[in-house]
Amino acid sequence: MKRREFIATAGAALLLPVSASAQVADLNDAINKAGRQRMLSQRMAKSYFAQGLGVVPELADRTMSASMALFDRQLVELKVFSPRPEIKSTYGELESTWSDYKAALVGAKPAKPQAEAVLALATRVLALANQGTGQLEKVSGKPVGRLVNISGRQRMLSQRMAAFYLSASWGVQVAASTTELNKARDEFVAAHELLKKAPEATPAIKAELELAEMQFGFFDTALHTLRPGIPVEHHMTNVFTTSERILQVMDGVTGMYSKLS
C-alpha cells in the first residue's frame, strides 16, 4: 500500500527513470524497446507543448532531454539488432524521420505556430515506430510477444492522451486533438481489459495492472478537465504528472511481460 500511496501522491517533481539496458538482449526485449520508441514520440510532443505553455517547465525540460537521448540510443540498438532486411529498412526510414522531428523539437523555442508541425512529425515517427514493433512481434510469433507489444502500447497511449490534452488546451487542432484523445482513452481501456484476462499474466503482473487501473482513474479524472482553447495551469500540470505516473507503472508491466519465455 505504501508504494501505491507514493505513486498516487507524488507531485510535479517526479521524473520517471524510463531506462534501457545497453543492448537488445532478445526478441522480447526488442519488442519492448521498439514499443518504447512509440511512447517516446508522444512523450516528446507532450513535453514540447508543456514547454510552450509554461507548464512544469523544469520537469518538461528534463523529460524532453531524457526522452530524446533514450530515443537516440534505442534507435541505434534496434537497427543493429534488426533480424530481417525489411525491419532494418523500417529503422532506416525511422532514423530519417526522427532527424526531422528532432530538428523541430530543438530548433527554436516551443511556440504555437510550430505546434501543428510538431504534431505531424510526432505522428509520422509514431507510425514508423509502431511498424517496427509489429514486424518484431511477427518474427516472435508467440503470444507473449503480442502481450509485450500491447502492454508497451499502453505507455504510448498514456503520453498520447496527455499530448492531445495539452494541444487542445493550447488551441492547436482542437477538434482533431479532442477526437484523438478520446480514441486513445477508449483504446487504453480496451487493452487493459485484455491484459488483465491474458492467461500469461502472473500474479505479480496482475497486481501491477491493478495499480495501473488505479492510476488511470486519477489520470482520467485529470483528462476530463479539458476546456479546449482555455489553458488552465493546474489542470495541465495534473495531466502531465499523472501521465508520467501511469507510464511508470506500465513500463514496469511491459518489462515483466518481456521476461516471460
The residue ranges of the chain whose pLDDT is under 70 are: 1-22
pTM of the complete model: 0.92
Interval 123-146: pLDDT, tens: 999 999 999 999 999 999 999 999
pLDDT of residue 21: 55
Question: What is residue 81's predicted lDDT score, i.e. its pLDDT?
Answer: 96
Residue 6: its pLDDT value, please?
A: 37
Given this model, what pLDDT does residue 48 score? 98
pLDDT score at 172: 96
Q: Give me the count of residues in the chain.
A: 261
Burial label, 25 (beta-carbon count in 10 A; 0-12, 13-18, 19+): middle
Please name the amino acid found at residue 216: F
Predicted confidence (pLDDT) per residue in 80-123, tens digit:
999 999 999 999 999 999 999 999 999 889 999 999 999 999 99
